[in-house]
Amino acid sequence: MKYIVFSLLVCLCLIITLHKHSPNSVVYPKTKTSTDCDTIFNQIIKDPYRWLEDENSNVAKDWVNRQNSLTSSYLRKIPFNRKIKNSLKEQKSYPKYSIPFTKGNKIYNFYSSPRDEYLYMHDESKDKEHIIINFNSTPFRQKTIFKNDISISNDGRYLAYSFVTNESKSKNIEILDLTNKELLNDKIESINFGKISWKGNGFYYTKFFKDKKNSPHQNSGVFYHKLGTPQGTDELIYQDNLLTKRIPFIVVSEEERFLFLYKFEGSYGNSISFRDTWKQENDWVSILDEYISELEIISFIRGRFIAITDDDSPYRKVVKIDPKYPERENWVTIIKGKEKLKLDWIRILNEKILVHYSEQILSKIKIYDLNGNFINDVSLPGEGVVRGFVGLKNHTKSWYSFDNFISPTKIYEYDLLNNSSSVYKSSKSRFKKENYIFKKDTYFSYDITEVPIFIALKKGLLLNNKNPTLLYGYGGFNVTMRPSYKDEFAFLLENDCVIALANIRGGNEYGSRWHNEGKLFNKQNTFNDFIYATDYLFKNGYTKPDYLAIEGKSNGGLLIGAVINQFSNICRVSFIESALLDMIRYEALPNGKTWDDEYGSINEKDSFLNLLSYSPIHNIDEKKKYPSVFILTGNKDKTVASAHSYKYTASLQKKKPGHNPILLRSIPDTGHSISGKNSFEKWSFMFFEMEIPF
């Protein structure tokens, strides 16, 4: 016992000694500046690091390499860096299964373990499993395959998937023959949108057109590829020349009768039209075309489309649409969401409507008949997050997952005939949920708006304001954030940390009103809501600024960048991942033009001034003392350009607001989703900067 106490004291002294000297030893790589600038509404906006927007240039690559070397050097000073790496690796070392999905009488499932990752198939008897794709085998090892884009033909013979390689700048599609596990010669290149929808002996896909200089335009079209033919002969099904940022794609109905043409102009709102292939007409029949609401066709059954929409319904509703009279005034509402029971999504199974509601953000499942009459609730394992229930309209069983902050993901099989659930795949995680507390609460923001917050912590943990705490949020794009289980969170909880999720405005937690109150000129609400979440944590004894880490990804990274500019002393550590950080240039970078309905455009004066007021790069205050900042990005990010992170890092390091470290980790061959990659570095950095021995 004396030896353990002595070792802890030595470790603590070593951390304090290293930490006291480490800030002064951080010498940032020299970063050249340019004279680039823009004059916008008579304001000169300097942009000295615009050269970093050319991410593939040799000078930019050299700069990134030097930044990565600095980060590695700093982290090597942390005495427990390797210990955390091994502990986190052990935490994640168990097999995981996805929610099953079906085609015909075959059941498919993804499996992953520390060594293996594959897609397997078995029939309904479950007698024998067949590996369809071994993602670590030679044909697939050098590819990043987008599993959400995998699509199996309706006859179960072919599997199409989209992927990128280290050399490619856009997605490609390949087709696997499931009868012999061999790739076809068909190659579909240069797609930037991965939706694949089968019909007959081929499939529909979307690609962007290129100009004479071979650079992609925003203008795009939908093509049909017939198997066994070259891409150059693919039939152009739809092209829109009127609006450059409109993205179309086609979904084929279950029985392959209807084609549904969806078009999106930005981050929210769509149009939809359809074509009945059993008829000879080739015209598209419009259902919705204003782009001010969203509508999705779920099924065609008994002569009607069943759809979910938020059109004139902030909490969403289910409607029936007659294909002969598809105009809005002829829609029939059969199920409607409410403020305290928001309707999220639906499935059609066993000719019943299964509805997922959010009650205080947590999942509720109810079943109705096709006329909207309530039948029964689905009994869930507890309060948490449910996903899945995929299947065809005649299926009598399906699968779903359940989890929450302290409940590792478990897969259940649901029998619709008996309204009963049984465990399909148990979690093999070592995490013991019975030792932890999962709670939901609310707090008041600056304008007395009540904001939800979820908390997880170890039972018996003292609320003495000294607990290392991770607070994260998102607040944008109509996205509902849910308190889901993550191995990283389990690792932190086991090491006496607190996990908190603030459901700030900008998402869809309480419908379209919640979204609208956190976008465009209301964006400051999201920052204020998050700031008041920290106040809640302080007042309730969970932590204090010295022990608080805040984290945000993508739009959430913008949130963190803005928050530490406005309240730099709010936390000890900040993690900014795959983030938008230059809000004056975001429209000029990839995908940016599709987000101006969320943020606004610099081409409009009021929007420009609003963006300038919170843009993280343009509001760094060198007179303030900033927390320790760890910026992470993937160097192959196709969603948010890595240049945001690079330019922000250079700007922070140049101005040096305070003496805490500002580190960048650009993760090679990685896209927008960097979850789990290099995570041990994050938590080593957090514990070290908080001067907590591990």
Confidence band of 25 (pLDDT split at 50, 70, 90):
low
Distance CA 296, CA 299 (A): 9
Question: What local confidence, expressed as pLDDT, does residue 23 receive?
Answer: 42
Nearest one of 482, 467, 686 to 573, comparing CA atoms: 686
Q: What angle do CA 596, 598, 602 make, to 5 degrees?
A: 35
The number of beta carbons lying within 10 Å of the beta carbon of residue 301 is 17
Nearest one of 257, 194, 200 to 229, comparing CA atoms: 200
Distance CA 341, CA 356 (A): 10
- What are the DSSP calls for 347-388, one per residue? EEETTEEEEEEEETTEEEEEEE-TTS-EEEEPPPSSSSEEEE
The two beta strands, 158-164 and 144-145, are antiparallel
Nearest one of 291, 275, 372 to 332, comparing CA atoms: 372
* Range among 202-216, 233-247, 272-286, 524-538 with highest mean pLDDT value: 524-538
Question: What local confidence, expressed as pLDDT, does residue 666 receive?
Answer: 95
Confidence band of 562 (pLDDT split at 50, 70, 90):
very high
Contact 663, 70 (CB under 8 A): yes
State pLDDT tens for residues 44-72: 999 999 999 999 899 999 999 999 999 99
Domain spans, the chain: 2-91+431-689, 96-133
Distance CA 173, CA 227 (A): 12
Q: Between these two residues, 527 and 147, which has the higher pLDDT value? A: 527
Q: Which of the following CATH numbers is that of domain 2-91+431-689: 3.20.20.60, 3.50.50.60, 2.40.10.480, 3.40.50.1820?
A: 3.40.50.1820
Confidence band of 125 (pLDDT split at 50, 70, 90):
low
Confidence band of 678 (pLDDT split at 50, 70, 90):
confident
State pLDDT tens for residues 436-465: 999 999 999 999 999 999 999 999 999 999
Nearest one of 200, 219, 223 to 209, comparing CA atoms: 219
- Residue with the two structure tokens 């953000």: 361
State pLDDT tens for residues 581-606: 999 999 999 889 889 999 999 999 99
Average pLDDT, the chain: 92
Whether pTM > 0.75 for this model: the answer is: yes
Question: What local confidence, expressed as pLDDT, does residue 243 receive?
Answer: 58
**SS3 for 516?**
helix
Distance CA 260, CA 250 (A): 5
The separation between the first and the last C-alpha atoms of the chain, rounded to the nearest angstrom, is: 17
Per residue, what are the HEC states of 249-294? EEEECCCCCEEEEEEECCCCCEEEEEEECCCCCCCCEEEECCCCCC
Is residue 212 pLDDT above 50, yes or no? no
Distance CA 35, CA 38 (A): 10
Which of the residue ranges 1-15, 97-111, 294-308 would you say has the lowest mean pLDDT? 1-15
